[in-house]
Amino acid sequence: MKKPRLKKIAGSVLKIGVSVLLFYFVVTKISFADVLTIIKNSHLFLILASGIFLLASQWVSSIRLNTFFHSLGYYLSAKSNHILYAIGMFYNFFIPGGIGGDAYKVYKLHKKFDWSVKKLSAAIFIDRFSGLSAIGMLLVLLAIPFVQSLGWFSSNSILYTLGVLLFLLVPLLSLLLVQKLFPSFKNVYFKTLLYSLLVQSLQLVSVYCLVINFGVSSDLISYLFIFLISVILSIVSFAGIGVREFVFYQAADVLHYNKDISVAIGLLFTFLTAILSLIGVFFQIKKIDLKKVK
């Protein structure tokens, strides 16, 4: 077996192991039956609303990726791009150890149009990086009221000054990195960053619906802040499973929130992500042909 292949399998096994261990840890620390009871008492309208906002975030995320493709002169049609993105979500969530969603996109586009694997991989990497930059900016915004509520700073002016500086520093540093390492994408940097901010904002609204559903809106800022941290840390797990629930559990323990409700929020978000990822199965079965913009 070739080393790159072995390395990839080892990485997948490690991620699955992390997910299993963290999920097991959470389950052993709470009453899973109580969590399921809480979820069963959810308001269907709010759960559906959460799913709709999550779906919208993925739709915008797909548009962002196609913007990077277009900047390379790879004019994939909007319809084909959304289909490919949906299939990629399915691969990322339901096929551990197999070909990842990002690798699948590169493979299909290279096979169909003979587009450069290196350039396609760069587009997908910078797409992820753009999302991370947006998360950093939103984390700073949420950190201000979060830290303020904990009373860690005696002076609000110092807190706000640090917040503003960090908020401006994140996109500046990411722009410098893009200009140095990926100059092909510098012309669409700000446009895609706005897409990224919209993607993450829609996901925050999705979580907001879940927070409202469980009647803990008084702790809304904390839950949104915790969610963004779980998004960043999910890179070490498989599809964010386990890590999300673990982060929500640990945060509830530190902040003295209801642990069952916190874990329920993480579980429901994972469940909604899984449901939406199943959309990719339909397109995979139909084997719809990818097309370029004419």
Per the domain annotation, does 294 fall within a domain? no
Per the domain annotation, does 292 fall within a domain? no
Q: Which residue has the tokens 């991620």?
A: 15
pLDDT confidence tier of residue 150, bands split at 50, 70 and 90: confident
Question: pLDDT tens, 23-49?
Answer: 899 989 989 899 999 999 999 999 999
Asked if residue 247 has pLDDT above 80, the reply is: yes
Q: Return the number of other C-beta atoms located less than 10 Å from residue 2's C-beta.
A: 7
Q: According to the model, what pLDDT value does residue 217 have?
A: 94
pLDDT confidence tier of residue 13, bands split at 50, 70 and 90: confident
Question: pLDDT tens, 75-125?
Answer: 999 999 999 999 999 998 887 654 578 889 999 999 999 999 999 999 999
Lowest-confidence region among 48-57, 110-119, 152-161: 152-161
Per the domain annotation, does 264 fall within a domain? yes
Q: According to the model, what pLDDT value does residue 244 have?
A: 93
Per the domain annotation, does 105 fall within a domain? yes
State pTM to two decimals: 0.93
Q: According to the model, what pLDDT value does residue 67 have?
A: 97
Per the domain annotation, does 10 fall within a domain? yes
Per the domain annotation, does 293 fall within a domain? no
CB of 212 within 8 A of CB of 66? no
Q: How far apart are CA 285 and CA 274, in angstroms?
A: 18
Q: According to the model, what pLDDT value does residue 95 have?
A: 78
Question: pLDDT tens, 129-143?
Answer: 999 999 999 999 999
CB of 106 within 8 A of CB of 121? yes
Asked if residue 293 has pLDDT above 90, the reply is: no
> In terms of residue numbers, what domain contains 255?
3-286
Q: How far apart are CA 254 and CA 233, in angstroms?
A: 18
pLDDT confidence tier of residue 193, bands split at 50, 70 and 90: very high
Per the domain annotation, does 11 fall within a domain? yes
Structure-block tokens of residue 256:
């003295």
Cα dihedral 204, 17, 126, 123 in deg (nearest 10): -120
Per the domain annotation, does 166 fall within a domain? yes
Region of residue 138 (left: phi > 0; alpha: psi -120 to 50; beta: else): alpha
Residue range 182-193: mean pLDDT, rounded: 94
Looking at the 3D structure of the chain, how many domains does it have? 1
pLDDT confidence tier of residue 149, bands split at 50, 70 and 90: confident
Asked if residue 55 has pLDDT above 60, the reply is: yes
